[in-house]
Chains A and B, each alone.
Chain A
Amino acid sequence: MKKTVIVIAFFLFTFNQTALARQGQPIVDYRIKVRLIPQEKAISGKETLTWLNNSNQSVSELQFHLYLNAFKNNLSTFMKESGGVHRGFKRGEQNWGYIEIRKLLDTRGADLTSNIEYIQPDDGNKDDQTVIRVRLPKPIPPQQKVSLEIEFYSKLPKIFARAGFYKNFYMLGQWFPKIGVLWNGKWNCHQYHLNSEFFADFGIYEVEMTVPEGYVVGATGKRIREVKNEDGTRTYTHSQEDIHDFAWTACPDFVEFKEKFIIENPRVETEIILLIHRSHLNQKERYLSSLKNGIEFYSQNYGAYPYPVITLVDPPLGGLGAGGMEYPTLFTSMAVSLIPRGLRFSEMVTIHEFGHNYWYGMVGSNEFEEAWLDEGINSYSEIKALARYYGQDSSMLDFMGLKMGDLAWQRTQVCGSGKMDAILKNSWEFFSNGSYSINSYAKAAIMLLTLESFLGEETMSKIMRSYFERWKFRHPTSKDFIAVAEEVSHQDLDWFFNQFLLSPDKLDYAIGEIKSLLLKEPEGKFNMEKGGAQEDKGKGNEQNLKMFRNEVVVVRKGELIFPQEILVEFEQGEKIHETWDGKERWKRFVYVRPYKLRSARLDPENKILLDVNFTNNSMLLKQNNMTPLKYALKLMRNIQTVLSLVCF
């Protein structure tokens, strides 16, 4: 077949190898040729995988993810866990998707197709076909490579969970047979669960995608070729090193915008590609500006963005099930046209999903087993980034006088949550989808912000940089994060992480009581120092000052322990700062003064964000009626208006 090369290369494949600073040899090397078949809503492909046995033992079997089989029937683990609903998007009727391996060859010549066996390492659900095991005729010795050729066909589901199609929009994520991770001497290849995302080894991907003429294609990595074929199709080839996944998208209704983005400190030079659905063109500037903010923030705070390209994909309204997903150097955001500027949902999603290029993309923790390491750390980063660019109190909402920050939004989820799960848990073992989200995202983020308050912003900043620098292009665990935190802060932080990572309990300290009692002069009979004679006391000395016994009782209402600061204020203006290790259930502070207390506040600057009730952190001696009056009158007026209108 004669092919005409229109553009051989937009740019030479010359990204900076030193910037990526890969650790060791690539474990995987994927070369994939894939063709989109719109009339079948399917793809067919041929994958050549070279895999390095980087362990010190021989390997006699390989394990692969076949993620798309999660959508094969209603008995798969994903469908059982989700009930066909993901993030509020429902599976349509007769909307099944699957992946078939049609041929699997060992390049040494053996046909391994018949060696494929479905396994269910997590839950034993025999109907789940999202993981396969392939027994090898000959073991692969340590530090040796094996090459496989895999022919596959994937029928795509209508999008409701990350991948699939909606009309002529295609989002291809987790679409090819993907090898698991040989980790600590055994295969780490989990089934596709509702509450889990992905874990894979770093390596090289080169993918040729053939689509009908007219489709606009976006994909992970840099485009190195674009070829017009005689059969009315086009083939786009993308390539990238030091990534652990590859996603692509195609839609004739995308409008492509490209822009070089450079920042000097630290030096970042990358190309932004925005693939925006034509119905959202009015959102272009919002997308671009928030993405630039994201690149700048993460580069300045964690390390320079090293890849030569970043692609932002904007799904159409019916394809929002694909929105808000991260893949290396490509992510999907979400927006709808006519959304007011003050509702910053698309900014939040854009910055969050871009941020996953760091926490997931480069720092490749295991999302199945320790989701907080990417979702929690990334939510922490997102809160800080949004606060910097859109204001702490208005980073999520700034509309018609109503303002709300991302921090308040995330914290409220923690306050309102139950005590079913700890943060650190296998993602499919959480009590519910909601519990997974709250713990892995919000609670973990609030935990890190609390740690930041405790250690100081500068120390926390060093921890995050060191963690990124040390663990990029590797697979860290929670222990590795804690080790970095302890090393940088020079503190033993086990007490912190053991509580907040491993316990589902809550942190709640409160002012239990404050009172100011007038001290009475001694009255009655008292022994004299000598001879046992008695003296009457009780006549008041008019010249004596009145003295008050001022008491503040602080209590620990939750199970978790955190050192506390207490600010005690007196009517006369005196302020006393106290500290308490917070270990006992309560502690009383007593002050004898010629004046009364005014108030007592725990954590006066609200630094301990994990405290689930700020309202009970302070107490006034005199009841404040002004604020209840203000808000009760306000609500009264609103109800009067409603009643007037209902009965108009």
Chain B
Amino acid sequence: MKVIKIYYQGIKEATFQPKIIFVLWFINFIFGFIFFYLFFEAFSRAIGQSAVGEELLRKFEFNFLFEFLAYHAESIATIFSAAGVLILIELLVSTFLFGGILFTLTYQIKSSDLANNKKSFAQLFFQGAGKFFGRFFRLLIYSFLLWISALIVFLLLNLFIGIFTGEAKNEQLFFYSLWLRLAIGLFIFFLVKMILDYTRIKIVTEDSRYVLRSLFKTVKFVFQKLGKALALYYLLVLTGIILFTIYFALKFFLPSNSLITILVVFLVGQLFIASLAWLKIAFQKAQITFYSQQPIQYESH
């Protein structure tokens, strides 16, 4: 019950953070817009003057896709190169923003009401972002240790599953084992993400400069509270799945063959991106609450 209460609280309080949601959505939108520009240019060159474009507006046609891939390979290569660079930049920006999100959310716990404080949202948010960027960047580097360990565990489990299913006569068993491997992979992936979330929370709430030590202590904390921590995390993951389902259902039923409908679909898409930002805050808020309710062991400076 306690977990559900914390989950509910996280969801509720995330809803009252429109400014953070806006910042996250806006940064994402800027990155997305760069791709929009690249794609728009490439498509305009490819089909802007062709009547094929008129047909594509009505329904997607594989003939065009294959021709586009065959005859516009350079444009596609440019877009993919840009994608690689932009994802790296977005990762750094996201690391920067994490400080702002967590600092703002934990500040509100410490000081009961933001309005009573003299600091504006922007001051508070970017102060936190700047303050913790260096520590979170180090955490990003150290997290490779965790990812590599997780990969080793995953490979060992795979090997173990393979012993029982690799030579299986029953082909279904082989396919089910693929699903099992995927489930295990996702479980480990979420576990590492969760540990990193709590490490960031620990660093911010305790203003700790000892990033590696915080990481190790968080691993210990997570495994001590594994059941509840996982329960909370998967409730939030489930919320994300529901969001995805709603979005894809809407996308499936909405036509997009006129300017108005194209814009409607675009707006629905942006609402979905904003809802992901909301969910990200809900994750952090709920986990901050969960972490705060545990006895805190401060670092010795």
Partner of A625 from the list B48, B87, B269 (CB cut-off 8 Å) is B48
CB distance from A442 to the nearest CB of B (A): 12
Partner of B47 from the list A415, A416, A628 (CB cut-off 8 Å) is A628
B31 part of interface (Cβ distance < 8 Å): yes
Q: How does the 8 Å CB contact mask read for A382-414 relative to B, with 1 for contact and 0 for none?
A: 000000000000000000010111001101100
A599 part of interface (Cβ distance < 8 Å): yes
A401 touching B252, Cβ below 8 Å: yes
A337 part of interface (Cβ distance < 8 Å): yes
A135 part of interface (Cβ distance < 8 Å): no
B273 touching A637, Cβ below 8 Å: yes
B50 touching A616, Cβ below 8 Å: yes
A619 touching B273, Cβ below 8 Å: no
CB distance from A606 to the nearest CB of B (A): 8
List chain A residues, Cβ under 8 A from B67.
412, 415, 613-615
A530 part of interface (Cβ distance < 8 Å): no
* Listed stretches A149-157, A303-311, A638-646; interface member: A638-646
Interface residue tally on A, bucketed by range: 35 or more
CB distance from B297 to the nearest CB of A (A): 28
Interface residue tally on B, bucketed by range: 35 or more
List chain B residues, Cβ under 8 A from A623.
44, 48-49
Of A627, A633, A634, most buried by chain B (CB within 10 Å of CB) is A627
List chain B residues, Cβ under 8 A from A618.
50-52
- Measured in the bound complex, the distance between the Cα atoms of B277 and A640 in whole Å is 11
B160 part of interface (Cβ distance < 8 Å): no
A317 touching B273, Cβ below 8 Å: no
List chain A residues, Cβ under 8 A from B69.
416
Known: A615-B64, A632-B36. A640 touches B47 (CB 8 A): no
List chain B residues, Cβ under 8 A from A626.
53, 57, 258-259, 262
- Return the chain A residue nearest B193 by Cβ: A648
List chain A residues, Cβ under 8 A from B54.
620, 624, 627
B32 touching A640, Cβ below 8 Å: yes
Per the 8 Å Cβ criterion, residues 125-182 of B in contact with A are 169-172, 174-175
B239 part of interface (Cβ distance < 8 Å): no
The 8 tightest CB contacts between A and B, nearest first, are A647-B94, A412-B66, A279-B171, A618-B51, A628-B43, A637-B269, A627-B53, A632-B40
Residues of A within 8 A of B (CB): 253, 277, 279-280, 316-317, 336-338, 401, 403-405, 408-409, 411-412, 415-416, 599, 601, 613-620, 623-637, 639-648
Residues of B within 8 A of A (CB): 28-29, 31-33, 35-37, 39-40, 43-44, 46-54, 56-57, 61-64, 66-71, 83, 86-87, 90-91, 93-94, 169-172, 174-175, 193, 252, 256-259, 262, 265-266, 269-270, 272-273, 276-277, 280, 283
Given contacts A633-B266, A647-B91, 16 further A-B contacts (CB under 8 A): A253-B169, A403-B62, A412-B67, A613-B67, A623-B44, A624-B47, A624-B48, A628-B44, A630-B257, A630-B262, A632-B40, A635-B39, A636-B32, A641-B272, A648-B193, A648-B276
